[in-house]
Chain A
């Protein structure tokens, strides 16, 4: 039986993309798998009694070495901010390509803490900074220094000692361009070196907290229990900066979604599901509920989604236990169809992620297809006809062509780059100044304009002739020819409408990173947790890939 890939007109709606969860395809899980046989080392740890100073960690295999350089600095309480406009942080990090020399460390010490206003070199691959969760960090230090383990309940509410507020790569602020690393044999997919940085930072937070506790009371202090460490991750605060990324990288977006959809299709096409696989699925699904019940947020929007997810999941598990028979043919397909009929989007996508768990043989080959050589698809095939382009728009953007952009509510917002931090932002077109400097992120509106303008042109005419008079639509003409080849390259929604929830765009990207516990703090930024439950560096050689569901929290 052949199952069709799900339609982009369902999958690429923002409400659906904003319901995605981590899976076996997520980058942080892939990163751990790919680097598990690398030699981990703490090369330098020169912190003072308060935990301020420099540390270096590395991963090494054969002749390749990646080193995380950390700078921990004193920060006044009134200077600590998660917002991108902050200019000081508790710690700043860069991933250096190779072993940093003394001169490198001197240079980096001057530049890395400055973050966006510092300059990095082609020898640095990623850049980040992080702030302490002061309440948790101090609690852990105080307890350890008194010879006690910290209160696990408090830790589980937060989930981390530090949270990063940005992770940069790919040529930002002078960092190495992607072309320098993309063909390295260990780089199997996107964002691997960003994941490596965050993983090292997690270890640094444990080492630092132990060091400070020991310095405070050398006679009594104990180290943070390793099981508690494993159950702590790294937090991350993310704002709108991430949202345009998925619009600006259409072929990459396609390859992420297509991998996920292909995995689902192949799983639904399994005729006889082996007992061990159905057992793995059921066992992990039940175990994973803990990740939802411990998922705390003050956001009413997310609370509603979590509540609905939990109710729907319980309904699904009950169906699975009491009515469903896995010995039926194409049982995962039956389950999927049941989910579509009986549960919410959040639950459907949650179970889709869980379905992948037993199937390394299906998922692993797809992991390698999640990067994209975007430059290859940049040129517009201008010899194609108006009729060709109209057909593409009609087939690939059917719901977008129905939007009436003469209505104020469909045209409510605009995206711009803020002057003070050069970060993407969104504002109300009718209340704020600056819409004349709008970024090209109103794809739905511009596609609609393109469609209307094409109708005025002769069908047999070619695109080069159309472009002479319509260069203002060049950016969407390029996209239309991309979506012809890459069906999941476009969000099938209006990104400037009144009802847009920008965090749906963030959630999509973060789910592919492997984030857990999305905690929206408004409709424009959220907090997440990464690597919670993950093996520690010394566990890497022999760890369970289902660690995501082992978390005690």
Chain B
């Protein structure tokens, strides 16, 4: 009776509406009588606001209201640390270009645009700081003087084993300095939404959000209203990649609706989205790796400094993640890690695919490839000697939980890419001749791993309700899965519907997932940390078991019940409790579960121009269990896209806090022509027994290995190491000329 749905590439639940263009994104909503709002943004990266004069704007016909800091009941918010003003008032400071001075609300978008140009703001520019290493110095200008006398937001240290002994045992030491830049999320759907008062008098927001229930929490504090007077509806999301985890428009829409009591629509143009919203953390990484002659890692000494930007956002959890992954997926007996996140006047840095695990992945994999070269060992072979396995002791002193499939991802991708394995040794394939006399071929390998679910003792949980509609004979006619999980496009809702279908023993087509409306669905936690398949999938299975029990009881008692409801709240700590860092040693059990990936890139470098063309990428991801294999391949493709952009084409240029790359014409994400000519995704399934059907997570892991694989392949081709991203043609050219 039970049908196999899990493991099948069923059509995505919303694919048909998306190909028709019917699926609505936040900017596609229009309400009767709606007004239009535009933000007046800060003009300086660091300045005191002396005077705000809204009168010229107010005088424009069609302007309904102009909100300033005085209109905000509680003018502060923040997803972790509450350090951010909603609107900056007279006498207060702007700390980056994304600070807001006012919101203009008008009868048409055109009038709102015109009016916001008329708001007059006088600033007193203040000395700022745009390099976190400068910002750490005692004499640096303070970004948040109200929080203390240092710009250092957080410091984490890990001390494992005996670092001096570790380096003394090393025959080879590799030391490098890596720079990973700001990255723009570049989701295709710019921030947008509508705020209004619903029929129940609730302040309601329609917007793309990764954690609608948490948004309500922050909005509740901002408006000083109880949560049951608030509501957030999340329609289709046009990509997020972490960029919708903090609020960038939700609270503004709520404030507008609250103040004018009419529907208000706001849409950011691309320039606003690029210039005024958060980015991936830049990291400055000093990395020393020691290993023995026969390729065993003995010690790592790592300093990581992240640029938090003007406000904390999730810089502290990101840093915590970073530190835990700093040594890579390897057994390293001795380690010294010092990690800092520091305020500057740059763009606020926030969650982005990888959440602090992407940057160290670049560094640790570059180190491994440099080590392989120094030792004269094949890069696959070197990794096989050191990679984590089930039960291996990780950097933070904890044993790795069952399901460590990283070696399998390396093995499968290497074999697919042409490596030969002989008696534990690995032999790189012949790459063939280049396509032109001025090109050289190279191949590079990299691994990466990341947590699934929230960490360091956070009570990660997901609550799900499953409703069954029964027909006359008591059979399940339809099932509705209700949870506050956003589907940003990766297919979370589809995967959960598949899990529900299999758990209920019904056809996939009978299962629906409810619209995310906080007034109707429970809190499933954030759509981040690659967690929904694991956390919500586990909750769905148990909620289905619960509802099936209730159905049985209903049938047995012949109540004639046509609708049965079950619910379950799954808590990560019920299977794997995690613990926070020990403040002195950094030892802990940081994460619930993990996902693993290896990628291999084959490319050609034009030795005269420095340009790189990626020919082939093999991407192997260990997902535990592929709920929908084609969706996993989609995540692999998208991860490679983001990683390739990170490595080669994406340059976010900011000088002294002023953004220079403001639009898609200036910030270049890869086009189809920039992607590898061939793509070979490989699904690896090394189950985590605590995961639903053994599943772990995939969304972020697929973007970790791409950049180091590509950069290492560039070295393989032309003998230069590019330690700071992106490896633009000019950078590669300079390195080849010896003029770096």
Q: Do A and B bind each other?
A: no
- Seen from chain A, the residues whose Cβ lies within 8 Å of a Cβ on chain B are none
- Seen from chain B, the residues whose Cβ lies within 8 Å of a Cβ on chain A are none
